[in-house]
Chains A and B, each alone.
Chain A
């Protein structure tokens, strides 16, 4: 460590001699890193909004609907626990349970707007009612009646398109009115489950297999053919739109990393000049006892100094332009931007390491392979 300190102090002396060059390189690195931060933030902001919109319209990545044609003689709560246990290895969060009451006409006369609709009672895996925005999304002037009894609009919710993909078509009703709704139909209640894996790969077979395995014994006892009772559907569709979103992220990432790579190449060229300028010094250093690792350390210390100064400058620039960037982004795109995102810092460090390797390895190899005799006394007498 002490030896490294000495080499760093020597490198500082060298750079002090070439202050203008050092400053220019630090500015080059700072500009590259600032552009990287800006591009990464643009990527985050645009793709976040796009991903939200996609999730809103076509559902989260890896959303599945499990439809059970029978309850296998189990109570609602036991059935929910069995399915929860089956899908836990795949699910990113506990599944929702949807009790599906067969299609009825839920509207009060004259029945003009909603038509026949299955009724959905949505609850979490613990059996508690799901927190839905009841009272919203219902067409204006619509009145709901079950079994001749009027139900307040605040107890009903018409699911969005993506929710209907996850839960199945129907009208969601507050579980407090479950018994009233049940009186409206003589058909058996079926159950669906909504599972989100956040995995792009198609896991329908895996989920189906897991649920079948979990309920197989129960089905056998009930004399039910399990394979005709469990159906798994993928609810998130529109892969092309999702791919487009990934493509946008890729383009931004390419621009960001491309800028950093260009900065690294700029440093590489500069370091090659430094090696050429200091050829005699490296030869002399070898003559007074320096080993290859010392010469390589001098090169890397040189780049680290520039990187350190450049990174500090980039952080300073980012802090200084943050207010203007926020104001511009809010006015132009109605989004909040934050250039120094915690998630971006590791990427910035990775980028700095990329630049270090890109700019350091080859010049270090060149410098350590020099024969001190060739650079100090190129003649033989």
Chain B
């Protein structure tokens, strides 16, 4: 048996918790039929990562690779994108998919431009920014893992506190409104949770494929159960298992991006489930 050091164990633990979080929050994204906005939001974190890098670089923090600053930047532009989509839906006559498509491509394009500018900076360790696209396990620091674990814990606690409200929002928004629940606040809370998950997952899974980890575990879980509580557990377990396996593979095989490995693990569970459980969901 291969012995695993404390650091590697911590990284795998981080992947497990992150995957479980994705499965939990992703369940509500799926039930709210809100996957498109999640895709736009995750892609829209790229310019924020660039801005965060430039800020950290200017301040001389870890040659720009200061994870808290990068994630703060990511959260900022991700939130801006989600807000812009909401605004376009309310104030223009554009269809939802048009609004999402426009915002996703504009923000992502801006991010790519920023990255190309960063590549011309001297002494900047811009290579590390590529890992935010597809995720990377190698080179992740212990400090980063602690940050990821803490953010995961906060997001999980918030989601569990809002379980009842999120369920009602997803099932019957109009009824929720008539009982006095602030539908818009709970909706924003769900967007914030999604944004939190996306940001936490950037380093390990990457912004391009994080959506898959938000969607595939709940869809797979839904195929096996009709009960929400079971679906939440199962989705979290599937997410955790896929992230753990994918992270292990990425750490063991050189140049294998973690995000891609994780998504393939999820697909390996999804397709047989879809085949065997065709009548369900």
A and B associate in one complex: no
User: Residues on B close to A: CB < 8 A?
Assistant: none
